[in-house]
Structure 1
Amino acid sequence: MTLRPDDSPRRAAYEILLRVADGAYADMVLDAALNRSTLDGRDKRLLTELVYGILRLQGRLDFALAQFCSQPLKRLQPEVLWLLRLGSYQLLELDRVPAHAAVSSTVDLAREVGFEQVTGLVNGVLRALERGRAEIPWPPPAKIKPYLQHVCSMPVWLTKEVMRQLPNAEAQALGESLTVAPPLTLRVNTLKIDRDAFLQALQAAGHQARPCRYAGAGVIVEQRGEQPLPGDEQGWYQVQDEASMLTAELLNARPAQRILDACAAPGGKTTALAALTDNRAEIIALDKYPQRVELIRQGVARLGCPTVTAAECDLTRLPEFLEPQSFDRVLLDAPCSGLGVLRRNPEGRWNKSSANLRDLAALQQLLLNNVATLVRPGGLLLYSLCTFSHCETDEVVEDFLVAHPDFALEDLRTEFPAWQDLFTTTGTMRTYPHRHDGMDAFFAARFRRCN
């Protein structure tokens, strides 16, 4: 099926969801569709809401649909199940869409995309859901495992992972936080404007915003106005989560240092490091894929960071073009499961498993071992991830310290006393959206090379 960007938002959402189910990334497919689309602003917002909302709440929607469908959902054609999810999301989650419109538009869409034979089933299930939604037997929070699965929309493997990490009340809070859209957070590019001036510009343009709680250059846009965000072409800001901003600050980068951002794309932390050093440090930004290196270069040009050099490099092998022990600071924001950003990449709930976590941990250990060779004596190595799984975080740190007695884990609490609630008892950073002002779930550990 070919996505037509001038279709209705429901038709576009349906076709995007089919592509995501086939392995595409939701953000990339959606962004491409929005850029080509002739939909007005209101319909673009509805399209975005439908795609991300359905993927976040797929498990919850399926639990509700199962109460009213006469056959197991797994026996339905995948296209039909996505139609039902599209209709049920509008019925259960969008108060501004009348029930009759949610049902009739889904039935019309089924007919339009070639499923005339199931319009009766779609109509019957959705009308039954509308009549009976107040009687859906949602599991209560006290039954934490089914609550996480059926209310917080977590597959079984992810439910087990969260329950291993947190006590029940916190597991519930984390699960609930991952069902909602993340805040729009911007890092002010202090190379071009200070935060107070940018906040004033936002207010003048009709947006409501406030400073981030932790990050000194961070701004949370609490309500967008009708005008575009000010300063986009001038490079006044970068869309970036607050936890990601903090990761750059933890590296303690200074002017005149030589800094490596080892897995840098799309470049948010790279340009943050340039701003933190006032464009007075040599920064090398690497990524494995040429198209992602180009993203770094585009961001560097937009934000005005001439001291950054971006290059292609596969760090699963020792980088021969970089001299050993030649960097004062090395940041490894490693490829990971992305459990901490499931609000932004909700398909990650459904296309990963616990086996993927172990495979990723092995890759992370390999990358960490290789970049460690580049740190000078006395230099710092920061390992960061947007996840909370134990095997990708604490276990990798423990294995690294055993294999590298010349590195010591630093206690971040001593250097950042104002951020005490972000740190663990071992001095690593671990953030959660339900604890820390809505920021993504991140982990960071800092090592110093002793000799």
Structure 2
Amino acid sequence: MNEIEERGTPRRYYFVQLVKYLNQLIFYFKAFNFSQLQYNKNEEIRFRSTTFLAIYLSVIEKQSIHWVIINVLQRVGSNRNQEFVKKLQQVKVSTLSTLLEPYSSIEQLSLRYAHPQFMVEKLCSILPAAEVEKLLQSHNAQKYLYARISGFEADPIQIRKSFRQIGVPLKRPTEIPFAFQIWRRYIKKIVKSPPYLRGDIVLQDLASMHTCISMDPQPGDRILDACAAPLMKTSLLQFLSRGQSKTLSVELSPTRLQNSLKSPTLRATSSFLIADSTTLPFRDSPPKEIFDKVLLDAPCTSSGAIYYTPEMKWFQSAEYLRSHAILQQKLLQECLNYLKQGGILVYAVCSYYREEGEEIIASASNLIKIINTRRFYPHVDKCQGFFIAKLQKI
């Protein structure tokens, strides 16, 4: 990809794109029998990656065959280039709809929008087919990022002025007055901007912000933030309570916690603990370890995070879902043990699956009252997929 990179597109961009469209590229590879052109078994990985790149550029980015020959095909091998180009031309003039005609509707959606069949089946059990199609499209065309003010002294007017000066327009979401919607294409300018480098703003997804807002942290609240890294929600909880709540952030991974502690937005009223939130180390502690509020943003399949991290789509499977649901039930039960009666627990996952959302809170129905639930979808809310439940311990 060196030649392409010299033209101004980073190598990582193409790596991400090949991952994003992986099953569609494999489909073309098999349908047009590119494997018969492989002349060196020792270079199978290189041959496939080069072929996938050539197909991607020709079909999805719609580059000319001549451009692809100049920038890519010299890596295939001169003795095979003529045959390779012939097959590539066949791919380019083909119609995916025609190729997919023999396949089921689930398989067609899976291949057309490059998502695993398991995930498409699950989504079709939740949403109408037309909605599923829009959702899958949104995963492949992520446009927006979100940022929020992180310091009490930060002036939103000055922040917007600073970004206008570097050519980055900001839009204020109507629901959150301290947040900004930003076009993804401006990300490089954002992370080099003075407000970002000073810590006046941080990048955080819109649905993630709503998780903390739904908790409504108040001065004096004793809050447990379970599974806390990268501490974005810890920081926002402190911001929302004007630094007057006391938050204990628990994280299993020492590395993740250590890296997260570098954030300039964390307040002195936050404390941190390396521990497993399925077995919290408070069993022999006095009643002071009972929390007023708990935030449980549980580890999940990240099916809703594909909006930002397309590689997660290829992890989706029945076993992957089952293992996370078991973990989530354990986390919820343990966190409820240390929530005072009448206290609030906000449960959240960046997942579309009911097994990680509604069914998890149903497993604790004898201990909780559901105050409200909300789902976010990227094609509707222009953010990542999320499930949020506000619960009260009874």
The answer to whether the superposition gives a TM-score over 0.5 is: yes
Aligned mates of 2:250, 2:3 — CA distance in 1: 38
Query: Do the aligned partners of 2:107 and 2:117 also contact (CA within 8 Å) in 1?
Result: no
Question: Runs of 5+ in structure 1 lacking a partner?
Answer: 1-6, 11-38, 111-115, 412-427
Q: What is the percent sequence identity of the aligned residues?
A: 23
Contact 2:20 2:140 in 1 (8 A): yes
1:2-48: CA deviations, max 9, x gaps? xxxxx8386xxxxxxxxxxxxxxxxxxxxxxxxxxxx88x74x5334
- Counterpart of 1:158 (choices 101, 115, 119) is 119
**Pair 1:289–1:410, CA change in 2 (3 A):** same
CA contact (8 A) 1:199 1:210 kept: no
Please give the alpha-carbon distance, in whole angstroms, between the structure 2 residues aligned to 1:368 and 1:46.
42
The residue aligned with 2:387 is 443
Distance 2:328 2:122 in 1: 19
Please state if 1:50 is matched with 2:17.
no
- Residue deviations 1:151-175 (CA, integer Å, cap 9, x gap): 1111121111111111111111111
Q: Give 1:433's aligned residue.
A: 378
Aligned to 1:29: none
Q: How many residues get paired?
A: 383
Would the aligned equivalents of 2:55 and 2:91 in 1 still touch at CA under 8 Å?
Answer: no
State whether residues 296 and 310 of structure 1, in contact with CA within 8 Å, keep that contact through their aligned partners in structure 2.
no
- Once the two structures are TM-superposed, the CA of residue 127 in structure 1 deviates from its matched residue by 4.9
Instruction: Tell me, in whole angstroms, the C-alpha distance in 2 between the residues paired with 1:443 and 1:120.
Output: 54
1:394-427: CA deviation from partner (whole Å, max 9, x where unpaired): 111111114x2xx21113xxxxxxxxxxxxxxxx
Secondary structure at 2:355 match in 1:
coil
Higher RCO (CA 8 Å, separation ≥ 6 residues) = 2
Q: 1:77 to 1:163 in 2, by over 3 A?
A: farther
Extract unaligned runs of 5+ from structure 2: none
Question: Structure 1: how far apart are the matches of 2:21 and 2:82?
Answer: 21
2:250 to 277, 281, 286: 286
Q: State the alpha-carbon separation in 2 of the partners of residues 366 and 273 from structure 1.
A: 24
Single out whichever of 99-108 and 255-264 deviates more from structure 2.
99-108
Q: SS in structure 1 opposite 2:365?
A: helix
State how 1:47-86 maps to structure 2 within 5 Å.
Answer: 47-71=11-35, 77-86=44-53
Match of 1:373 in 2: 337
| Cα distance in structure 1, aligned partners of 2:290 and 2:237 | 18
2:314 to 321, 341, 350: 350
Question: Does the CA-based 8 Å contact 1:69-1:125 persist in structure 2?
Answer: no
Cα shift readout 1:257-311 (whole Å, capped 9, x = no counterpart): 1111101111111111111111111111111010111122112xx1252222222
- Determine if contact 1:375/1:449 at 8 Å carries over to the other structure: yes
Shift of 1:77: 3.4
- C-alpha RMSD over aligned residues: 2.8
Contact 2:34–2:87 (8 Å) recurs in 1: no
Q: What residue number does 2:96 align with?
A: 137
One-letter amino acid matched to 1:435: V
Task: After TM superposition, give the deviation of residue 64 of structure 1 in Å.
Answer: 3.1
* C-alpha separation in 2, matches of 1:275 and 1:204: 27
Aligned-partner residue type, residue 381 of structure 1: L
Moved more, 172-181 or 354-363: 172-181
Equivalent residue, structure 2, for 1:34: none
SS of residue in 2 equivalent to 1:85:
helix
Q: Distance in 2 between matches of 1:58 and 1:348?
A: 12
- Partner of 1:420 in structure 2? none
Provide the C-alpha distance between the structure 2 equivalents of 1:435 and 1:152, rounded to a whole number of angstroms. Answer: 18
**Which runs of 4 or more aligned residues in structure 1 lie more than 4 Å from their structure 2 counterparts after TM superposition?**
70-73, 119-123, 321-325
Residues 328 and 84 of structure 1, relative CA distance in 2, 3 Å threshold: same
Instruction: Choose 128-137 or 53-62, whichever is displaced more.
Output: 128-137
- 1:48-95 per-residue CA deviation (whole Å, 9 max, x = no partner) reads 42122221111222233333225499x993443222222222222335
1: CA distance, partners of 2:56 / 2:297? 35
1:220 paired with 2:181, answer yes
